[in-house]
């Protein structure tokens, strides 16, 4: 094994939320992975990952702000892993505005391949930076909620949270 094959240390920490404990991992200010509550266990993490509370403070702060309703987008560096197609889908997901949704076909069209709806669904399912890259905002063509790594109940909760935050920003006419 050459030195460039040795994985660099990934720092991780837990971030509490109304939905449970997220895992946020990265290198300094760069987020490489976010696991949803109930979808990770310490004993399953790679050996080169080091638990260091506070290491991902910018991400945990922004997650807290999101759940408090004071943040609508994340201002972080993301370095997700994936194929070129998957990375294209992840970039398109970041363009779905807070409190809005897009269909799998919308995302496929955004990446220039409107017939790739099934492949978009698979890429969406493999999103390594869940919530921060908003795969929860992708819905079926008929408006129904479709698969989500955290389960449909969590997806529904996140979408309702965003709608409630957006609605609370509307001030009545003077």
pLDDT digits (tens, 9 = 90+) for 112-152: 999 999 999 999 999 999 999 999 999 999 999 988 888 99
Q: Are residue 73 and residue 108 in the same domain, yes or no?
A: no
Q: Do the domain assignments include residue 172? A: no
Q: Do the domain assignments include residue 171? A: no
Q: Give the domain-ending residue among 46, 77, 108.
A: 77
Both tokens of 173, joined, read 């006419």
Q: What is the CATH number of the domain that holds 31?
A: 3.30.160.70
Predicted TM-score (pTM) of this structure: 0.90
Both tokens of 75, joined, read 């201002």
CA distance 53 to 68: 21
123 among known catalytic residues: no
What mean pLDDT value characterizes the chain?
Answer: 91
Q: Give the domain-ending residue among 39, 56, 77.
A: 77
Q: Are residue 37 and residue 54 in the same domain, yes or no?
A: yes
| pLDDT of 102 strictly over 70 | yes
pLDDT digits (tens, 9 = 90+) for 72-93: 999 999 999 999 999 999 999 9
CA distance 124 to 88: 11
Q: Are residue 60 and residue 102 in the same domain, yes or no?
A: no
CA distance 172 to 169: 10
Q: What percentage of the chain reaches a pLDDT higher than 70?
A: 93
Q: What is the CATH number of the domain that holds 160?
A: 1.10.10.10
Instruction: Name the active-site residue from 93, 102, 135, 138.
Output: 135
CA distance 47 to 41: 13
Full residue range of the structural domain in which residue 71 is found: 3-77
Both tokens of 132, joined, read 């921060």
């Amino acid at each position: 094994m050459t030195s460039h094959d040795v994985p660099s240390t990934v720092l991780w920490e837990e971030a509490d939320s109304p939905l449970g404990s997220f895992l946020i991992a990265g290198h300094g200010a760069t987020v490489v992975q976010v696991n949803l509550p109930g979808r990770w266990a310490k004993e399953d993490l790679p050996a080169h990952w080091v638990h260091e509370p506070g290491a991902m403070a910018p991400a945990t702060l922004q997650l807290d702000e999101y759940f408090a309703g004071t943040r609508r987008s994340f201002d972080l560096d993301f370095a997700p892993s994936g194929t070129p197609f998957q990375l294209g889908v992840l970039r398109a997901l970041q363009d779905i505005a807070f409190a809005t949704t897009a269909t799998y076909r919308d995302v496929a069209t955004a990446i220039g391949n409107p017939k790739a709806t099934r492949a978009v669904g698979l890429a969406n399912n493999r999103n390594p930076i869940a919530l921060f890259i908003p795969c929860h905002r992708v819905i079926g063509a008929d408006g129904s909620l479709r698969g989500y790594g955290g389960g449909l109940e969590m997806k529904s909760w996140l979408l309702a949270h965003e709608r409630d935050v957006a609605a609370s920003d509307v001030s009545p006419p003077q």
